[in-house]
Amino acid sequence: MTIKMVHSARSSNRLKLDDPNDGLTATRKIFSSTIDGEETIYAWQGKVYSHVPGERDRHLFNIEGMNIRTTQTHKDEQRGVGFRMLSKEVMLFLDSTSNETLREWTNPWTDQRVKIFHVANDPVNSRPIFPNKHGFEGNILNGKVLLSYQIPLFYDNPLIGMMESNQHENYHALEMFDFFLSEQDLTDEKSPRVSDITIAWNRISQWEPWMQMGDKKGELIFDAAGTRVGSWNELSRTLRNEIEQNYPKFQTPPPLDDARTNQTTWRNYKEWLIARQSNV
């Protein structure tokens, strides 16, 4: 099986994927929409496993999440016209058997009962994205588009000095995104967004801080698949109920002029710890 790099000829009402500007338009159609401020939603479901040297991997949780987003045109005198994505995300940790939303969890290594801290990051915005001189970065196989991104994460651990059970100097993870869609859908100039798209998301990371794992060696492996949904009402009842009740501001994407620093689960957990300590 051979996968060829993108080289699509210009035809009527079709994007030319090896053209830098058309390639950027195609990327924006995948990320969200070419219409400034138009809302789109991705949703996913999957599982989380432990990976510990010398142990069998354990299925710890199921997960279900969504990212609500929009894009805005961004102009730069040197780099030209690009776009910026603005988004929020929620991901729930579910019981590995019943699939119910967890509030507490018994750590199987320590037997400690801990509070679950679901993912709720606002915002999760991108830097401006500009045309790539090689055009669209994906590949074409039999009329299907395959696009992959790998995002290594390595930065100072915001929890240093706050938790005896989390003294890693750095936060270290790897996220992997894969998109699968139709070439015809992607190259349609008349459509501002891709209508039918499947995604895969994988993550290798340190233990979640709320797991209270101490110096236990090992890591977490997240594996999920998802799609773009047409509207808020197409999300699962589980997600909608949880967001409406506990994360209501996540029902809309950030404003187009959002200049806030991006949030991460570990920074959110730090804020929660500070708030809890101040109330003691």
Q: Which sequence spans correspond to the domains of the chain?
A: 12-251+258-278
Q: Are 154 and 172 in contact (CB under 8 A)?
A: yes
Residue 214 confidence (pLDDT): 83
DSSP annotation of 48: E
- The CA–CA distances, whole Å, from 234 to 32, 91, 135 equal 17, 16, 33
Rounded Cα distance between 62 and 97, Å, is 8
Q: What is the pLDDT of residue 236?
A: 97
Q: What Cα–Cα distance (Å) separates residue 187 from each residue in 27, 71, 85, 153?
A: 10, 19, 20, 32
Q: Is 274 helix (H, G, I), strand (E, B) or coil?
A: helix
Which pLDDT score, from 0 to 100, does residue 7 have?
Answer: 46
* pLDDT confidence of residue 165: 66
264, 123 contact by CB (below 8 A): no
pLDDT in the model for residue 11:
53
CB 40 within 8 A of CB 33: yes
The whole-number pLDDT of residue 160 equals 85
Q: CA separation (Å) from 229 to 67, 134, 194, 217?
A: 10, 30, 11, 38
Structural contact between residues 239 and 43, judged by C-beta atoms closer than 8 angstroms: yes
The pLDDT of residue 2 is 39
Task: Report which of 3, 42, 52, 35 is spatially closest to residue 224, judged by C-alpha positions.
Answer: 42
Q: What per-residue confidence (pLDDT) applies to 1?
A: 40
What element of type H or E holds 238?
A: helix 237-246
Closest CA relative to residue 192, chosen from 73, 35, 72, 38: 35
CB-CB contact of 131 with 20 (8 Å): yes
* pLDDT per residue of the chain (280 residues) written in tens, 0 to 9: 434 444 444 456 899 999 999 999 999 999 999 999 999 999 999 999 999 999 999 999 999 999 999 999 999 999 999 999 999 999 999 999 999 999 999 999 999 999 999 999 999 999 999 999 999 999 999 999 999 999 999 999 888 888 766 667 899 999 999 999 999 999 999 999 998 999 999 999 999 999 999 889 999 999 999 999 999 999 999 999 999 999 999 999 999 999 999 999 999 999 988 888 777 5
Contacts of 229 (CB under 8 A, 6+ apart): 41, 42, 43, 66, 235
